[in-house]
Amino acid sequence: MARKTTVTTKHVPTAKIAQSADWRDAPSRDARGKMIREALFSAAAAVVGERGYQEASISLITQRAGVAQGTFYNHFKTRQDLLDQLLPALGKDMLEHVGQCAKQGKTLIDREELGFRAFFSFLKQNPHFFRILNEAESFAPNAYRVHLDLVAAGYVSFFRRASQNKELIGFKERELEVVAFVLMAARSYLAWRYVYGEETHDDIPDWVVRAYRKLIEKGLSGSQAGNGDGDTDV
């Protein structure tokens, strides 16, 4: 029976965009500018999450951030410029959160389970992320591509290290990206089904995590991977 691993996230900070501080308390001009930019990101995330990309106007975003509309243009060229940076910025926060949680695991399977749980704890901390991600393909396609490339590259790097450490065997270098996209899709569709769908939960159910772990324990063992008759280099 698969051993159950419990994620500990109390030492991992909530994503930066979700916790932007009040820029009015900034100790310096440079700090104030940085905090205003973070406030605009935080406001944009909230507005897009609540209303969607189409209704995320500069007016609504600046009102939510508590800044003048003119101040917006000190940080972003256009509304679309902000929207094109929003998902990648959130994605970097998500990767940092997942990475901090996953590194607590002693084995590849433990780290993957911890990263899986951390993805869902990130969604809980950032409830607007899922809508921002899903609508980006239509309304911020450049941001969507950047985000997918960023997450896939992080995943491939994770598996490459595991391969170098002899934890992941039987997969060729070019196959690591395939594995990464398969598991990225699993996280997205499982979120749709068990967090935002008909069966809504505050946290991903433990039985779903256990099922996921069973799958990766068999799949990532890789003992037979890459040995099929049709596996040729082209």
Domain residue ranges in the chain: 17-219
Summary mean pLDDT of the chain: 85
**Predicted confidence (pLDDT) at residue 13 exceeds the cutoff of 80:** no
- Nearest-angstrom CA–CA distance, 7 and 116: 10
- Could you report the per-residue pLDDT of 47-70, keeping only the tens digit for each? 999 999 999 999 999 999 999 999
**pTM of the shown model:** 0.81
Q: Looking at the chain, list the stretches that DSSP marks H as alpha helix, in order from N- to C-terminal side.
A: 29-51, 58-65, 69-72, 79-102, 108-125, 129-139, 141-164, 175-194, 206-219
- Give the 3-state secondary structure of residue 131: helix
Query: Residue 18 gets which letter from DSSP?
Result: G
Average of pLDDT values for 112-136?
95
Residues sharing a CB contact under 8 Å with residue 171, sequence separation 6 or more, in sequence order: 159, 163, 179, 222, 225, 226
**Predicted confidence (pLDDT) at residue 5 exceeds the cutoff of 60:** no
- Could you report the per-residue pLDDT of 203-233, keeping only the tens digit for each? 899 999 999 999 999 888 755 544 444 555 5
Choosing among 1.10.357.10, 3.10.20.30, 3.30.390.50, 3.40.190.10, the CATH entry for 17-219 is 1.10.357.10
- Nearest-angstrom CA–CA distance, 3 and 186: 21
- Could you report the per-residue pLDDT of 171-202, keeping only the tens digit for each? 999 999 999 999 999 999 999 999 887 767 67
- Nearest-angstrom CA–CA distance, 135 and 110: 32
